[in-house]
Chains A and B, each alone.
Chain A
Amino acid sequence: MTRKAIKKDETMVFWRDPLDSDDIHVTRGVVHIIEERCKGCGYCIAYCPRKVLERSKDFNSNGYHPPTVKSEECLDCCYCQLLCPEFAIFTVEAT
C-alpha cells in the first residue's frame, strides 16, 4: 500500500473549500468491498472523511450489513482500509 497520508484532523469535515479548488487535481479512489468478510462494525462508514460510505440495506450470509458506496467523493486516503478490522474494504486510485 502506498502512503497517501491523511492526518488525524482531516478525518473531520472540511470547514471551507479552498479558493483554488477548481484548479487542483484531486486524487480519486475506487472503493472495493469484500462484503462476505464484513462484520458490520460501521467503523469505515463513521470515519470516512468524505462520507463516501453508507450501511447497505442488504446483508451478507452472516447477517451483517456491509458498507456500500454512495458518492464519487473518495479521496483514496486509505483510511477505511487501515481501520477495517476485517480486511474487508480497500481502495485503489481511480484511473
Chain B
Amino acid sequence: MIRLSGVHKTYRTGQTSLEVLKGVDLEIGDGEFVSIIGRSGSGKTTLLNIIGGLDSDYTGKVEVEGRKLSEMSDRDLSRYRNRHIGFVFQSFHLLGHMTCLENVILPSLFNGGDGGLSEKQAQDRGLELLAQMDLADKAHARPIHLSGGQKQRIAIARALLHKPELLICDEPTGNLDRDSGDAILKLFSQLNERDGITLIIVTHDDIIAEAAARVVRIVEGNVVEDRRSEPNKNVDTSTSQREESA
C-alpha cells in the first residue's frame, strides 16, 4: 500500500522557484495497475521519483507499507529501491560497458550481502529473466546492438531481478514503435495479473492508459481525475473504490 498525502514539491533554480506538485493525495493498493497521465510538465515524473525514493526533497507524507519514506536513511531508502521497486525509464538507461546479463544483475551488486542474491543466484535469476524476455541469446551482447524494444525488455528484466512488489515506469513505450510497445504492454499486463506486481505507469500512450485498471490524471501538479475502469469487467466497483480512496 502506497499512500501520499499533501505532497508538495517545489523546484528552486537560482531566484526562480516552480511549484510542481501542489498537494497530491493518492493511495495505491497492492497489485493495482495505475497509469498516470497528463500534459508535459504537469509533474508526472516528479511524482514517480518521489514514490520511488529517488527524490526526497518534498513536503508532505509518503508512506509505503506503513513506513514514511522521509524518515528513512539514505541506506534504507537505497535498500527500498533495491529490493522493493523496479524502475523502467523511457530511455532504458542501460550501462553500455556491460553485457545485457551484467545489466540485468546490476541491482544484485548493491544488496550489501544481507539476504540478497549470491553471485550465482543472481546469474541464474538473470538468465531466467532474459529467457522470459525472449532474449536468452543476448545475454553476453552489449545493449548497443539491441533494438529499442529489446533494450526495454532488458531494462524490465533488471527491474524484476529482486522480484519487487512495485514497478515504476516512466513512459516505457515512449521511444518504441507500436509493435514493440504492444509487446511491452502485454508483458506488463502479465506481470500485474499473473505475479500481482503493482504497476505505476506514466504514459502518453492511450492504449496503455486504457489497459490500466485505474487512470490518474494530473494537471499542473494536482490530481484532477482518478478513474477506475476494468475494461472488460465491472465498472461500478472501480468507481466506488475511487470514492473510497478520494
- Whether chain B is bound by chain A comes out as no
